[in-house]
Amino acid sequence: MNLAPRTVVPEHRQVVRAVLNEALESKLGGEVVVKSTSVSGRIFVVERKVAWTVLTGPGARSFSMALIDARLVSREDVEQVMAECRKSGGNFCETLVAWGLVARDTLRDLLCRHLGGQLDTLLGLTEAQALFVPQPRSYASQMTFQLEELAPPAKPSGTPLPLVMPSQLPPLSESEATVNVKQVLEEALKIDGAFSVCLADANSGMTLGSSGSAGFNIEAAAAGNTEVVRAKMKTMKTLGLKDRIEDILITLGEQYHIIRPLGTREGLFLYLALHRSSANLAMARFRLADLEKTLQL
C-alpha cells in the first residue's frame, strides 16, 4: 500500500518542528521536505532518529566541505571516499572511519554540530511549508541522533539564526567549484528514478560535469538538446516575454528528461534523466530546483 505524503500548511513558526516530530514518531521513518522563500531542506529519519540533513540556500555548506574546512580531510580524500561509496554502496561517514581518515568520536562530534546547525536554521523559519514523506530506508551507519542531541526544545519566541549571504562568503577557487559541482551532481543522482545527470553549456554544447550510468551517454543527450534550450530562449525574446525558463520536460516512453537552465549563469543548464517507472516527477522537479541553488560557479 502506498502511503500518501502529508502536507502541513504553516499556521505558526513551529510547523517544521511539528512535522519533524511526526516523522520521528513514525515506525517507517522517511523524509521531511521543508521549503520557504529563503531556504529549503530535507531531513532524513531512520528508526526514529535523525540520520542526515540537506540544507539548500544562501551560505549552505555540505558536510564534506565542513570536514575540509576543519582540516580533517583533503578534497582528494573526499573524492576518493565518494567514488568508493558510489562503487560499493557504502556509507560516507563509515567509509571515512574504516579508511582511518577520521576517528569515529571526532567524526560523530563534527556531524552532530553540522546537522544541529542545519536543523537550527530549518526550525527557525518563520514561514515555511513542511511535507513528511513516509518511506522505509536502510541506513548503513550507527551515526544517527536523537532530536534533543541536535536541537534544543522549541522556545515560545525568538529569532531564527541568520543565514550567511553569498556576498559574505569568500569566492570559491577553481578546485572548490569543481568539488561543488560534483557534490551537486551526486545529490541529483539520489533523486528517485534518476540514473544520469550533467551540467552543460548551451552555447558550446560542452559538458562541465557529469555523473551516473555508464550505459547512457548523458553528454551526447545534453549536447543534442542545446538546440532546444537556445530555440526556447530565442522564442521568448521574440515574444517579448520577460521571464525565465524554470525547466523543460521531455517525456519518453520509459524515461523523463528534465532540462533546468541556471538562473545565476546564463547558458548553463542541468540535465537529469530518470526512469519513469520509479520517478516522482513533481518531487524530481522540486529537488532539482533546490540543487540549483547550491551550485557555486
Mean of all residue pLDDT scores within the chain: 82
Residue 150 placed within a domain:
yes
Predicted pLDDT of residue 153: 64
CA distances from 239 to 9, 70, 236, 242, 243 (A): 37, 51, 5, 9, 11
Q: Among residues 133, 165, 197, which one ends one of the domains?
A: 165
Predicted pLDDT of residue 193: 93
Query: Which positions of the chain have pLDDT values less than 50?
Result: 1-2, 6-12, 156-174
Are 265 and 229 in a shared domain?
yes
**Alpha carbons 266 and 297: distance in angstroms, whole number:** 12
**Alpha carbons 230 and 41: distance in angstroms, whole number:** 31
Residue 53 placed within a domain:
yes
Residue 1 placed within a domain:
no
- Structural domain total, the chain: 2
Are 53 and 150 in a shared domain?
yes
**Alpha carbons 9 and 7: distance in angstroms, whole number:** 7
Q: Among residues 165, 191, 222, which one ends one of the domains?
A: 165
Q: Among residues 109, 132, 165, which one ends one of the domains?
A: 165
Predicted pLDDT of residue 158: 46
- Host domain of residue 271: 174-294
Are 79 and 56 in a shared domain?
yes
Are 39 and 154 in a shared domain?
yes
C-alpha cell recorded at residue 210: 557529469
Predicted pLDDT of residue 5: 53
